[in-house]
Amino acid sequence: MNRIKLSNGEDLPLEMHKVKIVQKLELKPVEKRLEAIKEAGNNTFLLRNRDVFLDMLTDSGTNAMSDLQQAAMLTADDCYAGGESFFRLEAELKKVFNKKFFLPAHQGRACEHLLSRVMVKKGNIVPMNYHFTTTKAHIRLQGGDILEIPADEAFNTSSDALFKGNIDISKLKKAFKQHKGKIPFVRLEAGTNLIGGQPVSLQNIKEIHALCKQNNVPFVFDASLLQDNLFFMKTQEDSCKDKSILEICNEVADNVDIIYFSARKFGCARGGGICLNDEKLFSEIRQLVPLFEGFLTYGGMSDKEIEAIAVGIRESMDIDMISQGPQFIKFMTEELKKAGVPVVTPPGGLGCHLDAKAFLSHIDPENFQAGSLASAFYIISGVRGMERGTIAEERNKDGSECIAKIELLRLALPRRVFTMSQIKFTIDRIIWLHKNRDLIDGLEWEEEPEILRFFLGRLKPVNDWQERLVEKFKQDFDL
Ligand code: F0G
């Protein structure tokens, strides 16, 4: 474990890796950043990366790779069909998940597409702890809908509940009664992304498994953020304390029927796949892989990435490797909390999450608190975060805005990428912004796409607040 004590008693997360390859960064002047965010329609997805100092948009496909992953990429058996790289990944997945079949896909949402297309029918309801944007979109595209039944604590942003990602078992029981015959599967997401990377417990998985079995409904597990979740099981769940990460992972897998993952997160490379035992379902999905993804032994991934995923998954069974993310996030969250900044607690995986509802309580939710915070924070720091709130929702059926249950600015910490001084810089700028939060105002739509609007939508400030924020920043930092 890479948490040590300094002689002054301070707890410090210590990196158990060293940097061997670097990319030069540039911190552009604040005026340039204001220009860049305006050009991007106040949408951090639309910024050019050259205008970004620290890219905390996501951990998806941006984790640092190890030397062994890079080395494995050179051994890729590049070919269209039957490549050894595929069989090496398949063997690695067998060790961690122990399912009979593996179907490759180019990334996580492709798995969601394949599963929804085969399993979801019009009028179906999919109970889950919480949705991920692409999951919900694919289920709805098939005419189904989702039912979110997390524990009540899930939406309490300042909590000390350890497994806020858990499904509320009594609500799941009720759902089985209420929607009998309409539930194609139950979905549980590890490291629940949109509520702040919050973990699920092994105990909860076992309880869901038993209920699914009783009701003869498959249990689907989204393992994209499993790496962080395994860390939390090992360190916070009594029954896991004496088990190895691999043993915990095996036990998780034994208690779910279908596992899919984004290897942009799990495996620290780029790709995805589905692991399952059900031969009938496997045959049905298998036919679609060459149609939508690519031939069965690459599924839209390059053989080099397939090799990197295989090694990345093996490395994810190492506590030193998987503790880096959660420990850096904990450090950042605790420092911000000490300074009075509203952050999601307990700290989860994936990134540090600012509670934009509390941070910008003076802004009307219809003017997008998290979106406004993302824009303001980029302007004053060059750090790119991601809005995870109302902009990431879809409008209600009557056309009104669907105000998100929680409004978060997610500052993702891709694994092993940032140094402690970069984290300290980020913390400092957040604290400055919090002190000057009254200068921030809202955003409104300029261009609103119909599907997954957060990716490509453009917004504009409701007045000249951004210019005023820049002025204050320049004054305070003598620029
Ligand atoms: N499931 C979860 C829990 C995810 O976090 C993601 C992606 C997906 C599925 C889809 O996987 O991107 O490989 O198609 N999350 C990224 C993020 C995009 O930024 O949080 P994908």
Q: Mean pLDDT for each consecutive 10-residue tract of the chain (479 residues)?
A: 81 91 97 98 98 98 97 97 98 98 98 98 98 95 97 94 97 98 98 97 98 98 98 98 98 98 98 98 98 98 98 97 96 98 98 98 98 98 97 92 95 97 98 98 97 95 98 96
- Cis, bond preceding 326 (omega within 30 deg of 0): no
Spacing, Cα 386 to ligand 1 middle (Å): 13
Q: What is the spatial distance between Cα 249 and Cα 230, in angstroms, rounded to a whole number?
A: 7
Q: For residue 284, what is the enclosing H or E element?
A: helix 279-292
Question: In this structure, how many other beta carbons lie within 10 angstroms of the beta carbon of residue 444?
Answer: 14
Helix, strand or coil, per DSSP, at residue 412:
strand
Pocket of ligand 1 (CB under 6 A): 58, 60, 107-109, 132, 134, 189, 193, 222, 224-225, 262, 264, 272
Ligand 1 centroid to residue 456 C-alpha, Å: 17
> What SS3 class is residue 240?
helix
Pick from 63, 99, 84: which is nearest to 298 by CA? 84
CA–CA gap between residue 84 and residue 66 (Å, rounded): 21
d(CA 61, ligand 1 centre) in Å:
10
Site to substitute for ligand 1 among 113, 193, 270, most atoms within 8 A of C-beta: 193
CB 404 within 8 A of CB 392: yes
Alpha helix segments (H runs only) across 121-244 = 133-141, 169-178, 202-214, 226-236
**Both tokens of residue 221?**
């597990």
Tokens 């959660």 belong to 326
* 3-state SS assignment for residue 72: helix
Structural Rg of the chain based on CA atoms: 22
Active site residues: 80, 132-133, 222, 265, 388, 454
Report the distance separating Cα 389 and Cα 371, nearest Å. 8
Main-chain phi, psi angles of 460, to 5 degrees = -130, 155
What spacing in Å lies between the alpha carbon of 414 and ligand 1's midpoint? 13
Nearest to 164 by CA among 256, 235, 229, 212: 229
Q: Is the separation of the CB atoms in 341 and 431 below 8 Å?
A: yes
Contact 233, 199 (CB under 8 A): yes
d(CA 298, CA 4) in angstroms, rounded, equals 42
Pocket test for ligand 1, best of 132, 220, 292 (most atoms within 8 A of CB): 132
Q: Give residue 292's pLDDT.
A: 98
In angstroms, the Cα distances linking 278 to 138, 205, 259 are 22, 19, 12
Which ligand 1 atom minimizes the distance to the CA of 191?
Answer: 3
CA dihedral over 262, 266, 270, 273, signed as positive or negative: negative
pLDDT score recorded for residue 4: 79
Q: From 56, 222, 226, 265, give the residue whose CB has the most ligand 1 atoms within 8 Å, as the site to mutate.
A: 265
Token pair for 261: 């993952």
- Which residue CA neighbors atom 12 of ligand 1 most closely? 108
Q: Is 141 helix (H, G, I), strand (E, B) or coil?
A: helix
**35 Cα–ligand 1 center, Å:** 29
Nearest residue to 286 (alpha-carbon basis) of 119, 120, 114: 114
Count of other CB atoms within 10 angstroms of residue 312: 27
On whether the CB atoms of residues 200 and 166 are closer than 8 A, the answer is yes
Q: How many CA atoms lie within 13 A of 27 on its CB side?
A: 11
Answer yes or no: are the C-beta atoms of 440 and 372 closer than 8 Å.
yes
CB atoms inside a 10 Å sphere around CB 205: 24
User: What gap in Å lies between CA 459 and CA 363, rounded to an integer?
Assistant: 15
How far apart, in whole angstroms, are the C-alpha atoms of residue 337 and residue 329? 12
Q: Phi, psi (5° rounding) for residue 252?
A: -60, -50
Helices (H), 103-194: 108-119, 133-141, 169-178
Is 0.75 surpassed by the pTM of this model? yes
C-alpha to C-alpha distance for 179 and 193, rounded to whole angstroms: 26
| Phi, psi of 273, deg, nearest 5 | 175, 170
Residue nearest ligand 1's atom 16 by CA: 60
How many C-beta atoms surround the C-beta of residue 27 within 10 A?
A: 14
Place of tokens 């490379």: 269
The C-alpha atoms of residue 377 and residue 380 are separated, in whole angstroms, by 5
User: In 37-117, at which residue ranges do the beta strands (DSSP E only) sit?
Assistant: 54-55, 101-105
